[in-house]
Amino acid sequence: MTLNPKCLGLASGAAASLFYLGCILLMHASSPDALVVFFNSILHGLDIGPIMLSEVSWSLSLFGLVNTFVLSWLFGALVAVVYNLAARSPCHPGRA
């Protein structure tokens, strides 16, 4: 079995972008104090309060969304390429 790098890249980019959109909506709809509590709980108690921006513009959010998609696409495509290379190696399980 081989993985299509473009397809896995698109799937990775789309999934990461959906998570990022959720984060954008959360940032714009919640209070800063609630966000600090929420993200501190996700990050195992790491205090993000001192580094969190209190106001994030929609243009900065859009820029972050595009960057997230591009980086996630590259990651997904790279995973597919590495997987395909590893699947062809003679030490791959299931191959004689």
Tokens 């696409």 locate to: 73
The alpha carbon torsion through 48, 49, 51, 56 (nearest 10 deg) reads: 110
Q: 27 and 61 in contact (C-beta within 8 Å)?
A: yes
Report, as an integer, the average pLDDT of 33-37.
Answer: 88
To the question of pTM greater than 0.85 for the whole model, the response is no
Whether the per-residue pLDDT at 93 is higher than 80: the answer is no
CB atoms within 10 A of CB 24: 17
Predicted pLDDT at 11: 98
Predicted pLDDT at 33: 87
